[in-house]
């Protein structure tokens, strides 16, 4: 009977019902679209995870993988087969322009899963002829950028390769580097022929394994754990599941941020729902009192109001789910920029459960204190106070939802902090102002009465105020952040931001590069040595951490960050993008010939905070097997967006000068024409040196 009453209530108050349902619908719309989209992406990635990786298990490293690495895996899987591949950055030039490319070479038959689709309508592995050592397949972007046709010859490294086909679809495409360094496929022999691998080259070595049918490594956590522990931190182990996470990471981050912004809509809608419902309950106060007088107990009265609210919320939620699915279309086209696969409409149940839960629970938690208050009023228990927990229910719910959507304590905390701080400041401030306004003597009678009404109907005034305030905040904040980012990376000072960034400059090429620069009359700046190393310990405590227990985005990032190798540098002083924050400058050149005493090192301040470093801490590094110790003497701030060579850890001069190293450098402020000419000339003279056009990178970031 109560449910029937509640249903009739909806019919009897069509206007209120309509506005309530509309508020729920719009408040949930963004969340529905984002969560459904995330669910569909996840399902798609899951279903194609083996193809994304190309194997059942993959070892990858910046150092060459050896037979002993392969044997470690084979001891667990006797019938496994394995094949190798590698990735390396290089340069190519054609038609008077040169470009940075990512060369991929793989043994014939690799990848085990997933195929390359070529323009000739053949597939690899499959009916496509494997590459000879003088042949290449290129990505369509490179063909467009340099106007290359099939049959043209491309110089790469020390050799020339004939373009025999163009890759139309590559499921193992790297979306992050794709636009900056399009991929070129060579054979393993081709890489040797081109002499692409030199000392200091940034090579990604991979060995992929195929296991017998039925073996699913992702399901056996213990075995996977044992395999991982058999390798040191220079070797990364990837499975289809981890590859799926890796590929979807950028889109997942985007989804999390979009989810948070959608929660702003939910918050604003909740302001509206709260106002509407409290006005409705006030309007119905006499009816509730009458119902109680004729025999409806307080409990039934509360249930009646709850059922009414729940029915309305359900209508709104179901409508939101329907309309939210319509927004999926534009989101799918967005996904295409970040994923190498097309998104099929694979149904995922989880998002709908979430949206249904939020759609019904949010208005309920919001309205519980109002319902309780109305029931006390109806039963003449005016003195009874609504429990504090009832008021705290919705804020708690919203906080948990924010964390779930963003998957980050930091981000959810900042988001909630922003909302709460403004509320805590605005509400009392507004009440004070309204009190003040009500006492102000104003001559204009219309203004006076307007002020009187605003100040004395403060619930309505506050609701409108908050809605407008948060609307205005959101409307301006995101474009403002975007402008900040654009300005930050564009950098106003033209004398600081370089046009071309060079890496893989060999030690013996530096002087020639300087000569080249002065002959071309182009400014070569920021020549910085880079030494590859591993951080082994801090104050004699092991540095690397176990990556299995990740929960939040921060923990994931931290683990990846720690377990990578490091690039060290050395210098006598800070560069233009650095500023001393704590400690002292280097005392000069390292003098200890025995190399027993630790050298002085400078640490970037955020890196230092992440690692919990203090001035005076001792860090031990391993450089090609040799231990080197450094003592922290200062922290510095670095403006990474200057695109100058910068390092987390910089040694004083004198200790790493003889270590095997490559160099980074920049060419400053060049016009577009000069830039293109420089890249071509550089490529002719130094074919192994990779050059990144900073302008292109900025374009990519800003989009």
Partner 1 sequence: MSQALLVMALLSVIVGLMVIGFIINHQMLTREKDMALEKMLGLSTRSMMSRLRFEFIGILFIASGLGVIGSLLMSYLLSVVLFDGLWAFDPILPTLSFVMIMLVGVSIVEVLGRKAIATEAAVLFRDAD
Partner 2 sequence: MLFDVNSIAKSFATPKGPLNVLKDINFNVESGESVAIVGRSGSGKSTLLGLLCGLERADMGKMVFDGEDYSTLSEDALTRLRANKIGMIFQQFHLLSHLKAYENVALPLELKGDSNAKETAIELLGEVGLAARIDHFPAQLSGGEQQRVAIARAMAIKPKLILADEPSGSLDESTGEEIMSLLFKMVKDHKTSLLIVTHSQTLAKRCDRILTMENGVLV
Measured from the CB atom, is 334 or 353 closer to partner 1?
334
Choices 44-52, 294-302, 450-458, 633-641 (CB under 8 A): range interacting with partner 2: 450-458
Nearest 5°: phi and psi at 630? -135, 145
Q: Which of 384, 127, 355 is nearest to 263 (CA)?
A: 355
Distance of alpha carbon 394 from the chain centroid: 29
Residues numbered 484 to 513 that lie near partner 1 (CB under 8 A) are 484, 487-488
Q: In angstroms, give the least distance from the CB of 467 to partner 2.
A: 21
The whole-angstrom separation of Cα 239 and Cα 55 is 8
Nearest to 101 by CA among 39, 20, 191: 191
Check: CB of residue 90 under 8 Å from CB of residue 195.
Answer: no
Q: Assess contact for 217 and 228: CB atoms under 8 A.
A: no
C-alpha span between 468 and 343 (Å, rounded): 38
Least distance from partner 2 to the Cβ atom of residue 45, Å = 58
Residue in 119, 381, 456, 584 binding partner 2, rule: CB under 8 A? 456
Shortest separation between residue 442's beta carbon and partner 2, angstroms: 12
**C-beta of 431: minimal distance to partner 2 in Å?**
16
Number of residues that bind partner 1 (CB under 8 A): 72
Binding flag, residue 483, partner 2 (CB under 8 A): no
Q: Report the residue from 75, 95, 216, 457 that binds partner 2 according to the rule CB under 8 A.
A: 457
Half-sphere exposure of 602 (CA within 13 A, CB side): 27
Which listed range, 132-140, 285-293, 453-461, 685-693, lies at the site for partner 2 (CB under 8 A)? 453-461
Q: With CB under 8 A as the contact rule, which of the stretches 352-360, 445-453, 511-519, 632-640 interacts with partner 2?
A: 445-453
In whole angstroms, how close is the CB of 349 to partner 1 at the nearest point? Answer: 24
Q: Looking at beta carbons only, is 457 or 484 nearer to partner 2?
A: 457
Tell me: does residue 480 bind partner 1 (CB under 8 A): yes
State how far the Cα of 257 lies from the Cα of 305, in Å rounded to an integer.
35
Looking at beta carbons only, is 97 or 327 nearer to partner 1? 327
DSSP string, 60-73: EESS---HHHHHHH
- Taking the complex as a whole, the smallest distance from the CB of residue 466 to partner 1 amounts, in Å, to 8
Contacted entry of partner 2, partner 1, none for residue 456, CB cut-off 5 to 8 Å set by kind: partner 2
What CA–CA distance (Å, rounded) separates 271 from 49? Answer: 42
**DSSP letter (8 states) at residue 174:** -
For position 477 contacting partner 1 by CB under 8 A, the verdict is yes
Nearer to partner 2, 437 or 580 (CB): 437
Site residues for partner 1, 645-684, by CB under 8 A, read: none
The distance of closest approach from Cβ of residue 459 to partner 2 in the complex, given in angstroms and rounded to an integer, is: 12
- 635 by DSSP, 3-state: which? strand
Could you tell me how far CA 636 lies from the centroid of its own chain? Answer: 26
Which member of 221, 350, 453, 482 binds partner 2 (CB under 8 A)? 453
Q: How far apart are the first and last CA of the chain?
A: 57
97-106 and 183-186 as β-strands: parallel, antiparallel, unpaired? Answer: parallel
The option from partner 2, partner 1, none interacting with 689 (CB < 5 to 8 A, set by class) reads none
Residues of span 335-354 touching partner 1 by CB under 8 A: 337-338
289 binding partner 2? (CB under 8 A):
no
Beta strands of 464-614 (E only): which ranges?
A: 498-506, 524-538, 541-542, 566-571, 578-583, 599-604
> Is 64 exposed, middle or buried (CB count within 10 Å of its CB: 0-12, 13-18, 19+)?
exposed
Judged by CB, which is closer to partner 2: 8, or 453? 453
Q: Which of 452, 538, 545, 698 binds partner 2 (CB under 8 A)?
A: 452
Least distance CB 446 / partner 2 (angstroms): 10
Residue 282 within binding range of partner 2, rule CB under 8 A: no
Q: How far is the CB of 448 from partner 2 (least distance, A)?
A: 8
Interior/surface letters 177-188, b for 16+ CB within 10 angstroms, e for the rest: bbebbbbbbbbb
The partner in contact with residue 440, picked from partner 1, partner 2, none with C-beta cut-offs of 5 to 8 angstroms by kind, is none
Select from 46-54, 55-63, 334-342, 501-509 the region that touches partner 1 (CB under 8 A). Answer: 334-342
DSSP state of 384: P
Nearer to partner 1 by Cβ, of 243 and 578: the residue is 578
Strand pairing category for 57-61 and 97-106: unpaired
Tell which residue, 6, 137, 110, has the closest CA to residue 53: 110
Residue 487 interacts with, from partner 1, partner 2, none (CB under 5-8 Å by kind): partner 1
Cβ proximity to partner 2, 357 vs 459, nearer residue: 459
Q: Identify the sign of the CA torsion 275, 277, 280, 284.
A: negative
Please tell me the distance from the alpha carbon of residue 272 to that of residue 266, in angstroms, as a whole number.
10
Instruction: Give the x-and-dash track for 257-286 against partner 1 (CB under 8 A).
Output: xx--xx-xx--xx-xx--xx--x-------
Q: Which is nearer to partner 1, 121 or 472 (CB)?
A: 472
Which residues ranging from 417 to 436 are in contact with partner 1 (CB under 8 A)?
A: 418, 422, 426
Closest approach, Cβ 374 to partner 2, in A, equals 17
Smaller CB distance to partner 2: residue 452 or 496?
452
- Asked if 73 and 166 touch (Cβ cutoff 8 Å), the reply is no
- Pick between residue 442 and residue 624 the one whose CB is nearest to partner 1: 442
Site string for partner 2, 586-605 (x = CB under 8 A): --------------------
Residue 445 touches partner 2, criterion: CB under 8 A: yes
Among 466, 502, 533, 678, binds partner 1 (CB under 8 A): 466
- Which stretch, 153-161, 243-251, 451-459, 619-627, contacts partner 2 (CB under 8 A)? 451-459
Q: From the centroid of its chain, how far is CA 153?
A: 38
Cα dist. 687→94, 159, 160, 270, 410 in Å? 13, 10, 12, 61, 45
State the pairing for strand pair 566-571/662-668: unpaired
Q: Give least dist CB 290 to partner 2, A.
A: 17
Name which of 93, 90, 89 is nearest 680 in CA terms.
Answer: 93
- The DSSP secondary-structure symbol of 589 reads S
d(CA 335, CA 341) in angstroms, rounded, equals: 9
Residue 229 contacts partner 2 per CB under 8 A? no
507-533 burial, b at 16+ Cβ within 10 Å, e below that, comes to: eebbeebeebbeebebebbbbbbbbbb
Choices 57-65, 356-364, 456-464, 562-570; region in contact with partner 1 by CB under 8 A: 456-464
Cβ nearer to partner 1, comparing 5 with 581: 581
Kindly report the length of the chain: 703
Residue (221 or 453) nearer to partner 2, CB:
453
Of 461 and 652, nearer to partner 2 (C-beta) is 461
- Smaller CB separation from partner 1, 70 or 175: 175
| Integer Cα distance of 264 and 247 in angstroms | 28
> In this complex, which beta carbon is closest to partner 2, that of residue 376 or of residue 422?
376
Contact between 30 and partner 1 per CB under 8 A? yes
- Per CB under 8 A, contacts with partner 1 among 547-606 are 606
* CA atoms of 405 and 37, how far apart (whole Å): 13
Q: Which residues bind partner 2 (CB under 8 A)?
A: 445, 452-453, 456-457
């Amino acid at each position: 009977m109560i449910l029937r009453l509640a249903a009739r209530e909806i019919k009897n108050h069509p206007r209120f019902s309509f506005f309530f349902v509309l508020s729920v619908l719009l408040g949930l719309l963004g969340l529905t679209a984002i969560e459904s989209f995330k669910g569909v992406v996840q399902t798609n990635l899951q279903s194609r995870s083996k193809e994304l990786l190309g194997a059942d298990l993959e070892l990858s490293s910046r150092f060459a993988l050896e037979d002993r690495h392969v044997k470690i895996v084979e001891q667990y899987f006797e019938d496994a087969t394995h094949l190798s591949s590698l990735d390396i950055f290089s340069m190519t030039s054609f038609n008077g322009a040169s470009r940075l490319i990512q060369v991929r070479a793989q043994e014939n038959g690799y990848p085990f899963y997933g195929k390359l689709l070529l323009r000739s309508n053949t597939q690899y592995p499959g009916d496509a002829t494997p590459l000879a050592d003088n042949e290449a397949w290129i990505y369509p972007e490179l063909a467009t950028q340099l106007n290359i046709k099939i049959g043209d010859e491309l110089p790469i490294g020390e050799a020339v390769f004939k373009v025999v086909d163009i890759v139309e679809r590559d499921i193992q495409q790297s979306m992050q580097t794709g636009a900056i360094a399009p991929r070129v496929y060579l054979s393993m022999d081709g890489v040797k022929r081109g002499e692409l691998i030199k000392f200091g080259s940034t090579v990604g070595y991979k060995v992929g394994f195929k296991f017998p049918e039925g073996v699913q490594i992702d399901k056996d956590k213990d075995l996977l754990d044992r395999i991982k522990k058999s390798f040191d931190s220079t070797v990364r182990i990837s499975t289809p599941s981890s590859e799926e996470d890796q590929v979807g990471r950028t889109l997942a981050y985007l989804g999390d941020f979009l989810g948070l912004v959608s929660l702003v809509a939910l918050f604003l809608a909740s302001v509206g729902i709260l106002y509407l419902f409290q006005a409705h309950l006030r309007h119905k106060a006499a009816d509730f009192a009458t119902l109680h007088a004729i025999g409806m107990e307080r409990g039934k009265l509360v249930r009646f109001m709850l059922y009414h609210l729940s029915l309305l919320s359900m209508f709104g939620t179901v409508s939101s789910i329907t309309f939210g699915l319509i927004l999926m279309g534009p989101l799918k086209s967005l996904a295409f920029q970040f994923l190498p696969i097309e998104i099929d409409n694979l149904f995922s149940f989880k998002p709908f459960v979430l949206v249904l839960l939020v759609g019904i629970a949010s208005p309920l938690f919001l309205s519980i204190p109002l319902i309780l208050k109305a029931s006390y009023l109806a039963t003449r228990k005016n003195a009874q106070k609504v429990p504090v927990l009832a008021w705290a229910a919705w804020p708690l719910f919203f906080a948990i939802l924010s964390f779930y959507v963003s998957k980050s304590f930091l981000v959810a905390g900042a988001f909630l902090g922003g909302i709460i701080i403004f509320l805590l400041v605005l509400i009392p401030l507004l009440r004070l102002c309204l009190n003040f306004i009500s006492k102000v003597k104003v001559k204009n009678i219309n203004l006076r009465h307007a002020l009187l009404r605003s100040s004395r109907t403060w619930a309505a005034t506050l609701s409108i105020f908050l809605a407008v305030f948060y609307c205005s905040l959101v409307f301006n904040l995101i474009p403002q952040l975007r402008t900040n980012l654009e300005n930050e990376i564009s950098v106003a000072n033209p004398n600081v931001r370089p046009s071309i960034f060079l890496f893989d400059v060999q030690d013996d090429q530096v002087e020639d590069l300087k000569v080249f620069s002065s002959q071309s009359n182009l400014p070569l700046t920021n020549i910085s040595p880079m030494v590859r190393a591993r951080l082994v310990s801090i104050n004699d405590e092991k540095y690397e951490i176990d990556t299995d227990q990740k929960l939040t985005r921060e923990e994931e990032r931290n683990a990846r960050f720690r377990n990578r190798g490091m690039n060290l540098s050395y210098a006598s002083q800070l560069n233009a993008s650095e500023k001393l924050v704590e400690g002292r400058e280097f005392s000069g050149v390292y003098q200890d010939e025995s190399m027993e005493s630790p050298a002085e090192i400078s640490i970037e301040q955020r890196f230092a905070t992440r690692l919990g470093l203090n001035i005076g801490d001792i860090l031990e590094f391993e450089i090609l097997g040799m231990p080197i110790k450094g003592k922290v003497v200062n922290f510095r701030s670095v403006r990474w967006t200057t695109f100058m060579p910068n390092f987390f850890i910089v040694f004083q001069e004198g200790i790493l000068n003889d270590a095997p190293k490559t160099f980074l450098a920049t060419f400053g402020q060049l016009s577009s024409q000069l830039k293109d000419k420089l890249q071509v000339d550089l490529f002719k003279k130094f074919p192994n040196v990779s050059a990144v056009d900073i302008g292109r990178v900025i374009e990519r970031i800003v989009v």
